[in-house]
Amino acid sequence: MLPKATLAQAKLRDDMPREPFLILERILILCEHHDNPSTRCTLEEKLKRLNKKRPACANRQSKVLYGLGLTALLITPAQQAVAGGFQLSDHSITSLGRNHAGYGIVGDDASAIQFNPAGLTLLKDKQIQFGFTLNNVSAEVENQGSNAFGGSISGPNEDGAPDLAGAPNLYYVHPITDRLVAGIGVVSPFGTDTDYSDDFFGRFSGTVTNLVTIDINPSIAYKINDVVSIGAGFSIQTADITLDSRIPLGPASGDGGFEAEGDNVGFGFNLGITVDLPDSSRLGFSIRSGIVHDIEADTVFDLPASNPLSVFGGEFGADAEFESPATAYLAYMKPITENYFLTGGIRWTQWNTFEEIRFQFDDAGGPNPLTTNDAVTPVNWENSLTAAVGIDGRINDQWGWRAGVSFTETPSVTETRSVRTIDSDRTAISFGASFKPLPQLTLDFAYRFIQFAEASINQPINSQGNQVGATIASVEPDVNTVAFQANYKF
């Protein structure tokens, strides 16, 4: 028997005619719009920048990945500082309204594919769902005494995060029998985007950091009996990475430049279970595997002619490894009355696999002093937890509402925290609403505010294997999010 709250949701969202629906033919991508007009870019300009300096032979895989990315979802690579580390959570706007408490077990939208595939058995109709989140990020990095070669580092404080950053998600659910349900989802589970000028005081720790992932996740769920459901899914995940920084060469030689770009396709899985309890509440547990990406990168060393090492500069191949972390979700839903229910959830993320950023050059051990050794940046992140609670209510057959609060501990540590990924402990509060203008169509809206704790940065600056200074800074970000979703059943 379904919980009372689920019956209320069914009354609000179901009873729908079985007719096809054409939802979208085109999805538009938002591009960053910085305060400095000189840094604004169009979509065409951004793609040109991501492809510049890449030899023709290195584009064979990236063309496939960009084609997949643009045709699948055209995901904007800029969800900086929205979830712990560079993890993105907003795979459902309905769920966002309650701060994602109840991860995938409520049964009021298709995002169970991402959060807990066993929750698909709660969905009785074929449905397609599209959502879009838009984040306004404020994250100015302030100099607190950065130094190199015995002197202070000049340069302005900067906010390298884009003013506006957005990402869509897309799902399709198809019940096969009354016990077996299949679905597929396309989301961006990890991403970050910071872009500072070459004059930024923290330039030796990073200028450009861009990570775009796209995860295609077919899933299937089976209802064993009236109490237990299980589900499983398979992930095909692309990753595209760009890292730029300035190289400290000393007061006499000025700065050099280092750039790296690469991409890969990796594979993983997710599993889930839901259990309906005698008091009409529900428990859910799910896991999502980590995915290892073996990146084949193209790197560029660009040194001023006045430096003796400039003759060794140029383009070089390198290998790097990026592993998207494993996650686990524990979720709970408890009806209060026929029109109200509570949700709770805990997310664990295995960030301790992110120990370093390492580029192994193809000609390592050779005569070139720039590439004979690996380029290594220590990270040493720690595992992190998110806890969330939420409440949902139904006003009438057309309107519903929800609210939630969450706390996320940062995986980053002061000793290795960088300007590349701005992160600290944060508290988020959110509100959401559902509106049903047609029997077969449900529209969702959500707003969220994230307040971060002030974070310190004290990252060593190295030159030719020796520490020559440190980037010392502070940052206290905040994020405002608005989001929209449409779910059509047929």
The answer to whether residue 146 is domain-embedded is no
Distance CA 307, CA 257 (A): 12
In the predicted model, is pLDDT for residue 465 greater than 50?
Answer: yes
The answer to whether residue 485 is domain-embedded is no
Distance CA 478, CA 168 (A): 21
DSSP state of 153: P
The answer to whether residue 466 is domain-embedded is no
The answer to whether residue 144 is domain-embedded is no
Domain CATH for 382? 2.40.160.60
Lowest mean pLDDT among 31-35, 137-141, 346-350: 31-35
DSSP state of 36: S
Q: Where are the beta strands (DSSP E) in 100-224?
A: 127-138, 140-143, 147-148, 151-152, 158-159, 165-175, 180-187, 191-195, 208-223
The three-state secondary structure class of 60 is: helix
The answer to whether residue 280 is domain-embedded is yes
pLDDT tens digits, residue range 422-435? 889 999 999 999 99
Q: What is the mean pLDDT of residues 51-75?
A: 37
The answer to whether residue 151 is domain-embedded is no
The answer to whether residue 253 is domain-embedded is yes
Q: Which residues does 161 contact at the CB level (< 8 Å), separation at least 6?
A: 78, 80, 81, 137, 138, 139, 193, 194, 422, 477
The three-state secondary structure class of 419 is: coil
User: 99 lies in which domain range?
Assistant: 4-126+162-438
Backbone region of residue 264 per phi and psi (left: phi > 0; alpha: psi in -120 to 50; beta: other values): beta
Q: Are 479 and 136 in contact (CB under 8 A)?
A: yes
**What residues does 177 pair with on adjacent strands?**
none
The answer to whether residue 25 is domain-embedded is yes
pLDDT tens digits, residue range 381-421? 999 999 999 999 999 999 999 999 999 999 998 888 889 88
pLDDT tens digits, residue range 155-208? 999 998 887 888 899 999 999 999 999 999 999 999 888 999 999 999 999 999
Model-level pTM? Answer: 0.82
Distance CA 481, CA 131 (A): 13
- If one counts every other C-beta atom within 10 angstroms of the C-beta of residue 51, the result is 14
Number of domains in the chain: 1
Q: What is the mean pLDDT of residues 5-22?
A: 38
